[in-house]
Amino acid sequence: MSVVSGNVLLTGATGGIGHSIARAFAAQGADLVLTGRRADVLEPLAAEVGGRALACDLGDGADVDRLVAAAGAVDVLVANAALPASGPLLEYTQEQIDRALEVNLRAPITLARALAPGMVERGRGHLVFISSLAGKAAAPGSSLYSATKFGIRGFALCLREDLRSTGVGVSIVFPGFIRNAGMFADSGAELPRGIGTRSPQQVASAVIRAIERNRAEIDVAPVGLRVGTALAGLAPQTSASVSRLIGSDSISATISRGQREKR
């Protein structure tokens, strides 16, 4: 039996991308444990996909421990939850910085550390981390968010090497600009002509594909954005100059304004 039809713990299930991921696993016959902060959103989704709803604040270490205990044996972790954490660093309080680091970076690491031993013991399982193209390329107004997403990439790639002979896979999915749901869509920002988007369903498909093929990384973005991201890794200063020419500062400012209340 494929692990995609096993026991799946999905964080960030209250958002639109989380909904799409949950439905994709349900179509595979998975038993889902759905978590997020809003029980009123989780419970209808759990009823729809035949799963369990466990409300949890990933910014609270004790709550994360309770989630692990309540989830039971998990075959697949999909660490999808994240705070936007957009905007210039100097606008943030220390409390807001700490919360972004807790939710976006510490919680996924803690969940992986707690759940991986059981997977290793059973000789099967998969850990999927939802990052972002902001975890590969720098952009204005995203220093804190990118720090967490760059961090998740480094953690996951190293963990994949640590677990390579255990039967447990590790994958990272990197969405670009996602329409109709998620942080970018919720911000109300508009992209310049020619910069394309992808759908929440395509993110969900990438998650399933990453597990089935044990892919280390999958980008969910149009070719142009994928190429631009790759070039940013090779020549970050030049890439930043080009991005400014196509309006990255304006886009970043709009996204930051739209997400300020979610810090």
Q: What whole-number distance in Å separates Cα of residue 64 and Cα of residue 174?
A: 24
Task: Indicate which residue of 25, 145, 150, 174 is catalytic.
Answer: 145
What's the rounded Cα separation, in Å, for the pair 242 and 236? 10
Query: Is the dihedral angle over the CA atoms 47, 48, 53, 55 positive or is it negative?
Result: negative
Order of all β-strands in the sheet with 76-79: 52-55, 31-36, 7-10, 76-79, 125-130, 168-175, 217-220
Count CB-CB contacts under 10 A for residue 28: 15
Please enumerate in sequence order all residues whose Cβ is within 8 A of that of 238, keeping only pairs 6 or more positions apart, or say none: 231
CA gap 131, 174 in Å, rounded: 5
* Residue that the structure tokens 């810090």 belong to: 263
The candidate with the shortest Cα–Cα distance to 28, out of 71, 78, 95, 97, is 78
Indicate if 145 belongs to the active site: yes
> Is 221 within 8 Å of 198 (Cβ atoms)?
yes
Q: Could you give the residue numbers annotated as active site?
A: 145
